[in-house]
Amino acid sequence: MPRAPLPRATVILLGLAAAVVVVFGLAAARSVVAPVVLALVLTICVHPIRRRLERRGVPRGLATGSAIVAVFALLTGFFAALFVALAQFTALLPQYADQIEAGVAAVADALESIGFGAAQAETIVAGLEPSRAIEIATGLLGGVTGVVFSLVFVLTLLILMAVDATYGPAILRQLEPRRPDLVEALAGFTRNVRRYMVVTTGLGVVQGLVNWLALVILQVPGALLWGLLSFICSFIPNIGYFIAIIPPIVFGFLAGGWPTAVAVIVVYGLVNAVVQSIIQPKVVGGAVRLSETITFVSVLFWALVLGPVGAILAVPLTLLARAVLIDADPGTRWWRPATGDVHETKELASEMSAEARAEGRAERAARAGRRRSR
């Protein structure tokens, strides 16, 4: 006798319970999961380099090694620049300690004037003290060993994944007869993630360089660090811009007053508007197709689960979840429009808008006819 299917409410609750267990497991193992995900994304991005070298007659091992060396050079250069920028910032910050303390005191007075208690205001502004910023920067510089260990860990994973990826196309071809939908979903995921990451990296470099040059011209202290911060935050949709703009505004104000602060706001606003609102959507095209709400929530969610790396890789992680949970199952693909893939839905939305306008004209005509009949 066949068993009766479980009630829908039970299925939903079991799915939510399983999701909670998975999320807490990922959060507990974030020190391992985050580097693995980063190495996976890097492997996906460098895979075409190896393929192109192989097509030109380069041996497979040498092609794989060349791709790995390229990524290693980029990561090493980035961490070296970050280390230099943090060292400069640590030496620079004490010069503005008095001004920052005066600003913190003004913030505390403003908080008390709008109803915050003295203890509450003191707790809020405690994190704004310059000594706290110095401690954070010094801690980052002192954690070079941890950074090097993480870099070695990521590079080791990258080497292993790059070697294993040489058999990736053959594995997918073996799997395709049995799981064609899963193969199609994974292939689409790798294409979309590669396009998104490569384009975002390129535009992030341009954005960081332009902001850095503008800050140098405006004589904002710590321009190199803020340029690097702008590059990193370019990978964080919606939120990254506001994270990247706050420090240069503060130090621009300390160095040159309101004119410099306003100039920083204008420059960052123009660069962000051109890059992230005009160029990036056209270049990336349909690679992402996530709604703005899901993109925003995904940044908060993955940052909570995996930390800063989760915020930077929020879009690739969300695309991976959609590929596995929705795209790989024909029975759940109808959920794609709800996640932001509204390419076909736009036509229906246009038809519904036309119908609504027609109904509105008909109602206005009917009301006008009734008034004339009176």
Token match 């759940």: residue? Answer: 332
More confident residue, 102 or 160: 160
Using CA atoms, how far apart are residues 273 and 281, in angstroms rounded to an integer? 11
Token match 């299917």: residue? Answer: 5
195 HSE (CA, 13 A, CB side): 17
Q: What is the pLDDT of residue 251?
A: 83
Mean pLDDT, range 56-81, rounded to an integer: 79
Whether residue 225 has pLDDT greater than 90: no
Q: What is the pLDDT of residues 50-68, one digit of tens each?
A: 888 878 887 877 888 887 8
Contacts 24+ apart (CB under 8 A), 71-79: 71/42, 71/45, 71/46, 71/155, 71/158, 72/155, 72/158, 75/151, 75/154, 75/155, 76/151, 78/228, 79/147, 79/151
Retrieve residue 311's tokens: 């915020």
Using CA atoms, how far apart are residues 163 and 175, in angstroms rounded to an integer? 19
pTM of the model: 0.79
Q: What is the pLDDT of residue 142?
A: 43
Q: What is the pLDDT of residue 138?
A: 46
Whether residue 118 has pLDDT greater than 60: no
Whether residue 213 has pLDDT greater than 80: yes
Name every residue whose Cβ is closer than 8 Å to that of residue 208 and which is 6 or more positions away in sequence. Answer: 227, 228, 230, 231, 234
Q: How confident is the model at residue 141 (pLDDT cuts 50, 70, 90)?
A: very low
Q: What is the pLDDT of residue 137?
A: 45
Mean pLDDT, range 314-322, rounded to an integer: 90
3-state SS assignment for residue 40: helix
